[in-house]
Each structure stands twice: as C-alpha cells, then as structure tokens.
Amino acid sequence: MSERLLVNPIDCKAHGACAELLPEMITLDEWGYPIVDPRPLPPGLERHARTAVNACPTLALRLHRTEAP
C-alpha cells in the first residue's frame, strides 16, 4: 500500500505552491507547470505532501492511495 501524487493538468493553473512546499517530489518546468515524481511517496514526506495538496488553490494536486508497492 503506497501513496502517489497526481496532478490534474486541466485544473492546474501553475500557481506553483506545490513545488515550494514539496521540492523533493515536485519541480516546475520552464513554463511554471509542475513535474510530479510518479514514484511512491517516501514515508517521511507524508505530512509535507498533505500540506502541498491542501495548499493548491485549485485542488489540482491529489494524493492517491494505491495497492501497488
């Protein structure tokens, strides 16, 4: 059971808050849109990931629970 970050590219308007709050998993491309690391979230980052998810003004960033390891 693991968690992965997922961004809805239609809702994303490149506010950029996520990359500031979770630089370990999210960077911004040359146009300001997020590049999200698709790998499972490392255990220590869960709190920061939730902060980033809550901070998105358009709720484009989501945390998904998946069955895959």
User: Is residue 17 involved in binding other proteins (CB under 8 A)?
Assistant: yes
Q: Which is nearer to other proteins, 11 or 46 (CB)?
A: 11
Q: Which of 1, 3, 4, 9 binds other proteins (CB under 8 A)?
A: 9
Least CB distance from residue 66 to other proteins, whole Å?
11
Contacts of 63 (CB under 8 A, 6+ apart): 3, 4, 5, 6, 41, 49, 50, 53
H or E segment and range at residue 48? helix 46-55
Is residue 2 within 8 Å of residue 69, measured between CB atoms? yes
Residue 53: both structure tokens together: 């998810």
Question: Is residue 66 part of the contact set for other proteins (CB under 8 A)?
Answer: no
Contacting residues toward other proteins, per CB under 8 A = 8-17, 20-21, 28-33, 35, 55, 57, 59
